[in-house]
Amino acid sequence: MRIEEIRALSNEDLAKQLEEAHRELFDLRFRLAIKQLVNHQQVRSVKKKIARLKTLQKERELSAK
């Protein structure tokens, strides 16, 4: 998901996307621990996605003040 697509989301959708990303990261870490994860880059990309979502969430929070 690109930053332009993330910026177009509402606050509720942003929170939902963040929750889904955390769930996906948990699943990937679990699969990594039991040696079923083939592509280890997925963990890194999901972490970056979470960082983008949190950054935008913080920007909106600071601009609202």
**CATH entry 3.40.50.150 includes domain 3-64:** no
The pTM (predicted TM-score) of the whole model is 0.90
pLDDT at 24: 97
Instruction: For 20-49, give one letter per residue: b (16+ CB within 10 A) or e.
Output: ebeebbeebeeeeeeeebeeeebbeebeeb
pLDDT at 1: 75
**Which residues, 6 or more positions from 18, have their beta carbon under 8 angstroms from its beta carbon?**
50, 53, 54, 57
pLDDT values of the chain reduced to their tens digit, one per residue, 65 residues: 788 888 999 999 999 999 999 999 999 999 999 999 999 999 999 999 999 999 999 999 999 88
